[in-house]
């Protein structure tokens, strides 16, 4: 079966707040950070900035009845390497790629495209273990982080690169060059290495021809939907009006030669941050993913 999944609960976890990501919300969050840059996080100052300018909703907590906009939405910034996670830095620490954006060296679409195509599993931000995942391993579970689980099972992928490669291959093979949520959940998220891409394409075509039926990855549905929303924010993909099928954008078709060059670069093992059990791996991840100068060859110019 393509491919044998390394553990139950395989998925592509991403922030549940992906749906609110757009230029206005990102600009608001980054400018709110500037109110406390280099200082300890003062959530009340940031919350007031975001809410008073109608950038994001109050998100009043049910227990304390207090506004908690920052706690909920700051995950967007750390998820995409724009600030160091507040779990490892008590002060607001903007990364070089965030500063490049604020200094207009990148526009919004270029920034989002860059950070989403560079996003990888495993990484040093998605490190928390869910109780349900630990339970699925039973007595054999002996990992200290989700990052370690993925590294142990030799997962090494850039999800956006795999999705682009699958869609491009479907187009080259004259099959319908779109992905449904079901196909994302049942086929694409099974990829654990970039070398799985061809088998993934074959399995999708076989399923479309009713020659194959794969059981859905039960924990992957929500993540598949969130990834669709994120990929639509980039210059490379476009969702249909209903939001349930994904295709390559006009830019992907027009600039396919240049984008293929970038896809090939990001498919090489040397393009990855590698977890080797280092004690300071979370900081090292943000040092790597938040870097700007070493990713200049990966910027897809738009506009």
| Domain 157-271: CATH class, spelled out | mainly alpha
**pLDDT tens digit sequence for 144-157:** 999 999 999 999 99
Question: What pLDDT does residue 58 have?
Answer: 63
> For the chain, what are the domain ranges?
21-118, 157-271
**pLDDT tens digit sequence for 86-122:** 889 888 899 999 999 999 999 999 999 999 999 999 9
Instruction: Please tell me the distance from the alpha carbon of residue 111 to that of residue 303, in angstroms, as a whole number.
Output: 12
**Contact assessment for residue 55 and residue 24, using Cβ atoms and an 8 Å cutoff:** yes
DSSP assignments along 40-102, one per residue: B--HHHHHHHHHHTTSS---B-TTT--B-HHHHHHHHHHHTTSB--TTT-SBB-B-HHHHHHH
Q: Is 51 exposed, middle or buried (0-12, 13-18, 19+ CB in 10 A)?
A: middle
Question: What pLDDT does residue 251 have?
Answer: 94
- To which residue do tokens 């604020």 refer? 102
pTM of the full structure: 0.93
**Contact assessment for residue 33 and residue 94, using Cβ atoms and an 8 Å cutoff:** yes
* 255: CB partners within 8 A, 6+ apart: 300
């Amino acid at each position: 079966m393509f491919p044998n999944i390394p553990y139950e609960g395989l998925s592509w976890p991403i922030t549940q707040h992906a749906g609110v990501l757009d230029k206005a919300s990102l600009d608001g969050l980054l400018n709110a950070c500037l109110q406390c840059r280099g200082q300890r996080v003062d959530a009340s100052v940031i919350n007031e900035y975001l809410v008073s300018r109608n950038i994001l909703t109050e998100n009043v907590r049910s227990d304390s009845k207090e506004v908690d906009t920052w706690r909920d939405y700051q995950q967007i910034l750390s998820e995409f390497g724009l600030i160091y996670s507040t779990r490892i830095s008590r002060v607001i620490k903007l990364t070089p790629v965030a500063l490049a954006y604020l200094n207009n060296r990148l526009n919004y679409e270029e920034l989002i495209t860059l950070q989403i195509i560079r996003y990888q599993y495993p990484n040093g931000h998605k490190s928390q273990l869910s109780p349900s995942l630990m339970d699925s391993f039973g007595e054999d579970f002996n990992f200290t982080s989700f990052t370690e689980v993925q590294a142990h099972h030799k997962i090494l992928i850039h999800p956006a690169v795999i999705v682009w490669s699958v869609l491009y291959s479907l187009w080259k093979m004259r099959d319908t060059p779109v992905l449904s949520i079901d196909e994302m959940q049942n086929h694409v998220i099974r990829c654990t290495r970039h070398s799985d891409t061809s088998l993934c394409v074959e399995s999708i075509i076989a399923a479309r021809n009713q020659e194959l039926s794969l059981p859905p990855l039960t924990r992957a549905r929500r993540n598949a939907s969130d990834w669709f929303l994120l990929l639509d924010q980039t210059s490379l993909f476009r969702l249909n009006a209903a939001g349930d099928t994904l295709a390559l954008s006009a830019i992907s078709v027009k600039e396919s030669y240049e984008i293929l060059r970038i896809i090939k670069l990001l498919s090489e093992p040397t393009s990855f941050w590698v977890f080797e059990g280092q004690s300071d791996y979370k900081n090292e991840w943000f040092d790597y993913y938040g870097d700007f100068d070493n990713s200049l060859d990966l910027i897809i110019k738009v506009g």
